[in-house]
Amino acid sequence: MTQPGIELQELIATMEQRRRKVEEGGGPERQQKQREGGKLTARERIERLLDPGSFLESSTFVEHGRNRLMDGIEAPGEGVVTGSGTIDGRQVFVFSQDFTVLGGSLGKMNASKVTKIMDLAAKTGCPVIGLNDSAGARIQEGVDSLSGYGEIFYRNAVYSGSVPQISAILGPCAGGAVYSPAITDFILMSRGSSYMFITGPEVIKSVTREEVTFDQLGGADVHTRKSGVAHLAYEGDEAVIDGIKDLLGYLPQNAREKAPVKPTSDPADRRNEKLLDIVTPDQRRPYAMQDVIRELVDDGTFLEIQPDWAKNIIVGFARLNGQSVGIVANNPKALSGSLNIDASDKAARFIRTCDCYNVPILTLVDVSGFLPGVQQEYGGIIRHGAKMLYAYAEATVPKVTLITRKSYGGAYLAMNSRDMGADVVYAWPTATVAVMGAEGAANIVYRKDIKDSENPAATRAEKIAEYKEAFDNPYVAAAKGYIDDVIPMEETRERLIRTFEMLANKEETRPFKKHGNIPL
Ligand code: HXC
pLDDT interval class at 361 (50, 70, 90): very high
Site to substitute for ligand 1 among 105, 114, 215, most atoms within 8 A of C-beta:
105
Among the listed residues 176, 192, 249, 421, the single catalytic one is: 176
- For 143-184, how does the pLDDT look when each residue is reduced to its tens digit (9 = 90+)? 999 999 999 999 999 999 999 999 999 999 988 789 999 999
Percent of the chain at pLDDT > 90 equals: 87
CA of 105 to the centre of ligand 1 (A): 6
Expressed as residue numbers, the domain containing 455 is 438-471
Question: Of 186, 214, 248, which marks where a domain is finished?
Answer: 248
175 lines ligand 1 (CB under 6 A): yes
Average pLDDT, the chain: 95
CA of 140 to the centre of ligand 1 (A): 11
Q: Does 462 fall in a domain?
A: yes
The reply to whether 303 and 179 lie within a common domain is no
Query: Active site includes 175?
Result: yes
pTM attached to this predicted model: 0.95
Q: Does 381 fall in a domain?
A: yes
The reply to whether 369 and 423 lie within a common domain is yes
Ligand 1: residue whose CA is nearest its atom 4? 138
Helix 42-49 vs helix 236-248: crossing angle, to nearest 10: 40
The reply to whether 283 and 398 lie within a common domain is yes
Distance CA 33, CA 30 (A): 5
Residue 322 maps to which CATH number? 3.90.226.10
Q: Does 292 fall in a domain?
A: yes
Q: Which of 81, 201, 67, 204 is CA-nearest to residue 147? A: 67
pLDDT, position 520: 96
Ligand 1: residue whose CA is nearest its atom 34? 135
pLDDT, position 3: 64
pLDDT, position 67: 87
Alpha carbon dihedral 237, 238, 242, 244, in 10-degree steps, equals 20
The reply to whether 284 and 424 lie within a common domain is yes
The reply to whether 50 and 165 lie within a common domain is yes
- For 386-434, how does the pLDDT look when each residue is reduced to its tens digit (9 = 90+)? 999 999 999 999 999 999 999 998 999 999 999 999 999 999 999 999 8
The reply to whether 230 and 219 lie within a common domain is yes
Residue 367 in contact with residue 411, Cβ under 8 Å? yes
The reply to whether 484 and 452 lie within a common domain is no
Pick the atom of ligand 1 nearest to 26's CA. Answer: 48
Q: Does 160 fall in a domain?
A: yes
Per DSSP bridges, beta strands 90-97 and 432-434 are unpaired
- For 60-99, how does the pLDDT look when each residue is reduced to its tens digit (9 = 90+)? 999 998 888 988 999 999 999 999 999 999 999 999 999 9
Provide the number of structural domains found in the chain.
3
Residue 387 in contact with residue 352, Cβ under 8 Å? no
321 lines ligand 1 (CB under 6 A): no
Query: Active site includes 438?
Result: no
Among the listed residues 77, 175, 218, 369, the single catalytic one is: 175
Alpha carbons within 13 A on the beta-carbon side of 425: 25
For the chain, the maximum distance between any two Cα atoms, rounded to a whole number of angstroms, is 115
Residue 124 in contact with residue 89, Cβ under 8 Å? no
Query: Active site includes 411?
Result: yes
CA of 486 to the centre of ligand 1 (A): 60
pLDDT higher than 90, residue 104: yes
142 lines ligand 1 (CB under 6 A): no
Question: Of 248, 283, 309, which marks where a domain is finished?
Answer: 248
Ligand 1: residue whose CA is nearest its atom 7? 135
The reply to whether 397 and 451 lie within a common domain is no
Site to substitute for ligand 1 among 35, 100, 102, 195, most atoms within 8 A of C-beta:
102
Ligand 1: residue whose CA is nearest its atom 37? 135
111 lines ligand 1 (CB under 6 A): no
Q: Does 510 fall in a domain?
A: no
Q: Does 513 fall in a domain?
A: no
- For 446-466, how does the pLDDT look when each residue is reduced to its tens digit (9 = 90+)? 888 888 888 988 988 998 888
Helix 381-394 vs helix 341-356: crossing angle, to nearest 10: 20
- For 452-509, how does the pLDDT look when each residue is reduced to its tens digit (9 = 90+)? 888 988 988 998 888 888 878 899 999 999 999 999 999 999 999 999 999 999 999 9
Residue 98 in contact with residue 152, Cβ under 8 Å? no
CA of 46 to the centre of ligand 1 (A): 22
The mean pLDDT of 101-107, rounded to a whole number, is 95
pLDDT higher than 80, residue 4: no
Residue 76 in contact with residue 21, Cβ under 8 Å? yes
The reply to whether 285 and 236 lie within a common domain is no
The DSSP code for 260 is P
Q: Does 497 fall in a domain?
A: yes
The reply to whether 40 and 100 lie within a common domain is yes
Sign of the alpha-carbon torsion through 75, 79, 83, 89: positive
pLDDT interval class at 5 (50, 70, 90): low
Q: Does 367 fall in a domain?
A: yes
Q: Which of 325, 334, 275, 335 is CA-nearest to residue 305? A: 325
* Residue 138 neighbours by CB under 8 Å, 6+ apart: 79, 102, 105, 106, 107, 110, 145
> Is 342 or 283 the better-scoring residue by pLDDT?
342
CA of 136 to the centre of ligand 1 (A): 6
The reply to whether 457 and 484 lie within a common domain is no
The reply to whether 425 and 340 lie within a common domain is yes
